[in-house]
């Protein structure tokens, strides 16, 4: 007797399940890993991505590349998410995390094909990741308790390791010290927006400089601006969030006049309002007036006559950074300006940088801010330099907070791999194989570093395995030597990275791999997509045709 077919899902629903589905997900993740594979390490290549709007991005940063690729495969999207989370949490190691996740799944693939249940794999991978993280913590070396100068030197080495794989790797020492000075300037306050990065095309990389304070581009200015002084020593700074413009106060106001001569008094009142505001600004004793809104031509001329510098339409983030550095408070009214709300700095000046004029506040009392002014030839180059510096700043911040470092250059990966291999020998049962495959996957980092630099990966990895297998433990910090194509002590060569980068990468990559292994069915419902489209079309129709509809919202 034939059983009637049971229809659960709408017609046209695409369901794929079982082993084939899992293998398809693993293949898609491996494909994403292959995209960023070549960008790893100091000799990594860059990717040029140009989107439908015609804007071109050249980048070496795993998270940036994956963000711009617009991946649609649901399983592969998980890799984009872990790259983003690594970027926001630690700042560096985005390529590493994607590569590790892809490699873990690649190693799991033959087991899945042989019919191993994915839950067994997941269990072993989780155990292996816990052991790996414990080993990283054990091998990490603390940089606490050093003098400030020593600590700065150590942090600069961490920054240089990060920058060595970027476009600006050629000038890594120059930028590493700049980044460390910037992070030290903001002290314990670790809000990233206190470090501003301003881009000025022209010149070369070496022309970039660090301002110990705030710098921003000269804003739009009216006539009379040229007469204002462009340099002050110890000025008082007034920060406003109001516009100083002559406005005819006609908003929704209706005035009835019985006598034409009364009209003049209304015009005078408008002038008096603006003059009253300006007088109060001058009386406050401020020599530099900054406002987030416009400062009109009348106000500009008025301030110029009284030797006061003013700038309107200052970007909000710049205004907030001036407030943080100079110790002022942004005012929304000019009434009752007390000395406490005024900021100050040692030197304020307006300087020419390339083709731009910059307002620079230096020697600020609270000093909790810094600005890096980046120079370079092409716009794409400067943008990539900004992304690279962002990574380096994040790394230095992390190293200041969690002051333990591990050797880079694939050394830590080889050491964990060796440790897990030895550990797996002590386990009876299938999980011995799975933990061994996890250990093998960790070797992808040194192997890829060799491939990207054009060395013989098999040869270098054999040397590394031999070095790490030494019982004395002296080979634990040996990694790939990018310059000679052999192996070298990463610690002695100052190739360091914060332990938190590795811990986060192993954690995130294992989680992603386990998540993808635990999925055995994908249900794609095309009907719901078309239903959404119909609903949207209906809403548009109502908005246009209906009497009460106010049209579509602008996005």
User: Is residue 339 domain-shared with residue 274, that is, in the same domain?
Assistant: yes
pLDDT in tens, 226-256: 788 888 888 888 888 888 887 655 566 677 7
Active site residue 94: yes
Find how far residue 246's CA is from the centre of its chain.
Answer: 42
User: Is residue 221 domain-shared with residue 346, that is, in the same domain?
Assistant: yes
User: Is residue 271 domain-shared with residue 165, that is, in the same domain?
Assistant: no
Closest alpha carbon to 33 in 87, 82, 90: 82
User: Is residue 460 domain-shared with residue 426, that is, in the same domain?
Assistant: yes
Structural domains counted in the chain: 3
Burial of 443 (C-beta count, 10 Å sphere; 0-12/13-18/19+): buried
Domain assignment of residue 533, yes or no: no
**Quick check: 110 and 533 in contact, CB under 8 A?**
no
User: Is residue 381 domain-shared with residue 417, that is, in the same domain?
Assistant: no
Q: CB-side exposure of 457: number of CA atoms within 13 Å? A: 13
User: Active site residue: 39, 61, 87, 489, which one?
Assistant: 61
Active site residue 391: yes
Active site residue 127: no
**Quick check: 401 and 410 in contact, CB under 8 A?**
no
Q: What is the DSSP string of 417-460?
A: HHHHHHHHTT--STHHHHHHHHHHHHTHHHHHHHHHHT--HHHH
User: In angstroms, rounded to a whole number, what is the distance separating the alpha carbons of residues 413 and 315?
Assistant: 45
User: Active site residue: 94, 127, 219, 510, which one?
Assistant: 94
pLDDT in tens, 527-555: 555 555 555 555 555 554 444 444 444 44
User: Active site residue: 39, 57, 64, 95, which one?
Assistant: 95
Active site residue 404: no
Domain assignment of residue 38, yes or no: yes
pLDDT of residue 555: 47
User: Active site residue: 92, 212, 391, 413, which one?
Assistant: 391
Which domain range does residue 460 map to? 14-142+407-521
User: Is residue 270 domain-shared with residue 305, that is, in the same domain?
Assistant: yes
Q: Enumerate residues 6+ apart whose C-beta is below 8 A from 481.
A: 409, 487, 488, 493
Sign of torsion, CA 174 175 181 184?
negative
Residue 450, domain CATH: 1.10.560.10
Averaged pLDDT, groups of 10, the chain, 555 residues long: 68 70 89 89 85 84 86 88 86 88 92 89 92 90 76 81 79 85 76 80 83 83 79 87 72 74 80 85 86 85 87 86 84 83 86 82 78 84 85 82 83 90 89 92 90 89 88 81 84 83 91 90 68 56 47 46
Q: What is the DSSP string of 481-532?
A: ETTTTEEEETTTTT-EEEHHHHHHHHHHHHHHHHHHHT--EEEE-HHHHHHH
pLDDT of residue 529: 56
User: Is residue 279 domain-shared with residue 416, that is, in the same domain?
Assistant: no
* pTM, rounded to two decimals: 0.77
User: Is residue 354 domain-shared with residue 443, that is, in the same domain?
Assistant: no
User: Is residue 53 domain-shared with residue 198, that is, in the same domain?
Assistant: no
User: Is residue 396 domain-shared with residue 458, that is, in the same domain?
Assistant: no
pLDDT of residue 110: 92
Task: Write the CA distances from 282 to 240, 346, 428, integer angstroms.
Answer: 13, 20, 83
């Amino acid at each position: 007797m034939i059983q009637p077919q049971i229809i659960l899902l709408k017609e046209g629903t695409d369901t794929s399940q079982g082993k084939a589905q899992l293998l398809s997900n693993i293949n898609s993740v491996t494909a994403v890993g292959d995209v960023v594979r070549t960008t790893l390490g100091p000799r990594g290549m860059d990717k040029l991505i140009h989107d439908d709007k015609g804007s071109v991005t050249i980048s070496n940063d795993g998270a940036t590349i994956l963000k711009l690729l617009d991946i649609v495969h649901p399983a592969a999207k998980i890799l984009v998410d872990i790259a983003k989370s690594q970027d926001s949490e630690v700042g560096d190691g985005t390529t590493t995390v994607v590569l590790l996740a892809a490699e873990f799944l690649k190693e799991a693939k033959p087991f899945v094909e042989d019919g191993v249940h994915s839950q067994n794999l997941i269990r072993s991978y989780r155990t292996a990741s816990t052991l790996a993280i414990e080993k990283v913590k054990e091998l990490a070396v603390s940089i606490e308790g050093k003098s400030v100068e020593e600590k700065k030197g150590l942090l600069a080495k961490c920054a240089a390791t990060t920058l060595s794989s970027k476009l600006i790797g050629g000038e890594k020492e120059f930028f590493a010290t700049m980044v460390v000075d910037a992070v030290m300037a903001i002290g314990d306050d670790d809000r990233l927006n206190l470090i501003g990065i301003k881009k000025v095309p022209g010149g070369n990389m070496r022309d970039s400089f660090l301002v110990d304070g705030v710098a921003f581009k000269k804003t739009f200015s009216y006539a009379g601006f040229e007469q204002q002084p462009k340099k002050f020593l110890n000025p008082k700074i007034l920060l406003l969030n109001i516009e100083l413009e002559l406005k005819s106060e006609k908003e929704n106001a209706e005035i009835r006049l019985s006598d034409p001569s009364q009209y003049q008094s209304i015009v005078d009142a408008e002038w008096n309002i603006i003059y009253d505001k300006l007088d109060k600004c001058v009386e406050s004793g401020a020599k530099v007036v900054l406002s987030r809104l416009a400062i009109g031509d009348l106000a500009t001329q008025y301030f110029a006559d009284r030797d006061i510098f003013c700038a309107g339409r200052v970007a909000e983030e710049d205004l907030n950074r001036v407030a943080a550095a100079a110790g002022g408070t942004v005012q929304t009214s000019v009434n009752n300006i007390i000395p406490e709300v005024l900021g100050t700095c040692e030197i304020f000046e307006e300087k020419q940088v390339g083709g731009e004029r910059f307002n620079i506040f230096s020697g600020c009392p609270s000093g909790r801010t810094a600005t890096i002014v980046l120079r370079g030839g092409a716009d794409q180059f400067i943008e990539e330099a900004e992304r690279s510096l962002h990574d380096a700043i994040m790394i230095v911040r992390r190293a200041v907070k969690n002051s333990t470092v591990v050797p880079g250059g694939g050394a830590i990966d080889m050491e964990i791999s060796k440790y897990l291999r030895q550990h797996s020998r002590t386990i009876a049962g299938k999980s011995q194989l799975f933990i061994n495959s996890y250990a093998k996957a960790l070797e992808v980092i040194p192997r890829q570093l060799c491939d990207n630099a054009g060395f013989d990966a098999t040869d270098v990895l054999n040397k590394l395995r031999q070095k790490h297998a030494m019982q004395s433990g002296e080979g634990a910090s040996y990694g790939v030597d990018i310059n000679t194509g052999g192996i070298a002590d990463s610690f002695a060569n100052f190739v360091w990275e914060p332990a938190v980068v590795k811990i986060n990468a192993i954690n995130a990559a294992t989680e992603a791999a386990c998540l993808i292994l635990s999925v055995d069915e994908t249900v794609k419902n095309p009907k719901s997509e078309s239903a959404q489209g119909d609903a949207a079309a209906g809403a548009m129709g109502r908005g246009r045709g209906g009497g009460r509809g106010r049209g579509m919202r602008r996005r």
